[in-house]
Copies of this chain bind each other. A is one copy, B any other.
Amino acid sequence: MDKTDKTGGVPVPTVADVAAAAGVSTATVSRCLNSPGVVSEKTLKKVLEAVDRLGYAPNFSARALASNRTNMIGAIIPTMENAIFARGLQAFQEELQKNGRTLLVASSSYRSDLEEEQIRALTARGADALLLIGYHRDSRLYEFLEKRRIPYVVAWAYDPAKPHLSVGFNNRAAMRQLADEVIGKGHRKLACISADTAENDRARERVNGIRDAMEAAGLDPASLDIIETSYAIDAGDAAFRALVGAKTPPTAVICGNDVLAVGALRAALALGMNVPEDVSITGFDNIELAGLAPVPLTTVHVPHRRMGQFAAQALLAALGGTPPPHSTELPAELCLRATLARAPAG
């Protein structure tokens, strides 16, 4: 306690100071803080009293070094910009906090190369476990994590065939359900605005879900017009204009997420079309925006908060050992609003 820290700040008390103040050894202080059960009532009280008299707080770097765990959990998400992951991330963080863990965040901007970099960066930083979005990534990375014994959970997707711990929903089935609904309304000429499907398994599965529905309904899946673009309102707007400019414009445009759908909707209205009378538009995610759009969006409700919370619990279980973590499939439910209606006659 008598030495000032390197930056000239105020001296910060250490275990040794607390030990001295309480008249015990540093080991006992450490035990009082980490496994209070094994020390006697009397010393526990004595030590805790000293702790808060001195305002002691353990140095996490030292603790991390000695115990080989940082109590930090990393999350690598495609973006924090819009609400797609924000709610889930918030829930994830709340759950971690409740359990004394801290959240490390990095964003990959939907790029695999950046994601890889971030995974390595966060593990180097000592993240005890990781939250990852979707399954698509180089198998090298999965091997890296397995070798290092770093627990991870794949969220926002659920595929029982995949060997990874995951918490999410079946993107393909959810979109299939929505597409069934669309087709049930008499739409025959469908189009789709999607994120890049090459590196984004959720986007890919959603498109597959549409194809499944078409096939089941006797429509040719190849007749589905697909535009792949980035997840932005303007991109949705532009894509929609391209689609309706085609020789046989679709009567329904199924979008890979709500952001694209809102962009498409904006374009439709700007072009003087009536939604849903002239064209139906659907989204995916059910972010706040969806219910508040100029025409409330028909979409698929994704259980953001529960996903975040369950993902945190799964990782904590994986770290703590008990009970063993298990993958969880959460339901994604149709959310029917105003942008979907019967196909115009013709």
Contact of A59 with B by CB under 8 A: yes
- Asked if B148 contacts A58 (CB within 8 A), the reply is no
Cβ of A61 and Cβ of B65 under 8 Å apart?
yes
User: Which residues of chain B are near A148, meaning CB under 8 Å?
Assistant: 9-10, 12
Hey, which chain B residues are within 8 Å of A58, CB to CB?
Answer: 124
Q: Which residues of B contact A93 (CB under 8 A)?
A: 80, 105-107
Kindly list chain B residues whose C-beta atoms are within 8 Å of the C-beta of A59. 65, 124, 126
A5 to B126, CA, bound (A): 13
Least CB distance, A286 to chain B, in whole angstroms = 14
A59 CA to B60 CA in the complex, in Å?
A: 14
Query: Do residues A102 and B102 form an inter-chain contact, with CB atoms below 8 A?
Result: no
Q: Is A342 an interface residue (CB 8 A)?
A: no
Bound CA–CA A130/B104 (angstroms): 14
Q: Return chain B residues, CB-CB under 8 Å to A94.
A: 107
B-chain residues with CB within 8 Å of residue A274 when the two chains form the complex: none
Contact with B along A113-140 (1 / 0, CB 8 A): 0000000111011100000000000000
Number of copies: 2
In the assembled complex, A89 has its CB within 8 A of some CB on chain B: yes
Complex Cα gap A70–B7 (Å): 14
B residues in contact with A345, CB < 8 Å: none
In the complex, the answer to whether A102 meets B97 with C-beta atoms within 8 Å is: no
Report if A81-B86 is in contact (Cβ < 8 Å); known contacts: A7-B149, A9-B148, A65-B59.
yes
Complex Cα distance, B70 from A102, in Å, reads: 14
Given contacts A65-B59, A121-B102, contact A81 B90 (CB under 8 A): yes
Chain B contacts of A86 at CB under 8 A?
A: 80-83, 86
Check if A244 is an interface residue, CB within 8 A of chain B.
no
| Residue A33, interface by CB 8 Å | no
- Any B CB within 8 A of the CB of A211: no
Asked if A288 CB lies within 8 Å of chain B CBs, one says yes
* Neighbour of A292 across the interface among B57, B65, B149, B266, CB < 8 A: B266
Query: Which B residues are in CB contact (< 8 Å) with A262?
Result: 292
**8 pairs, A vs B, C-beta closer than 8 Å:** A6-B68, A59-B124, A80-B89, A81-B83, A104-B104, A105-B105, A289-B292, A292-B292
Q: Which 5 A-B pairs give the minimum distances between C-beta atoms?
A: A9-B149, A61-B64, A80-B90, A61-B65, A57-B124
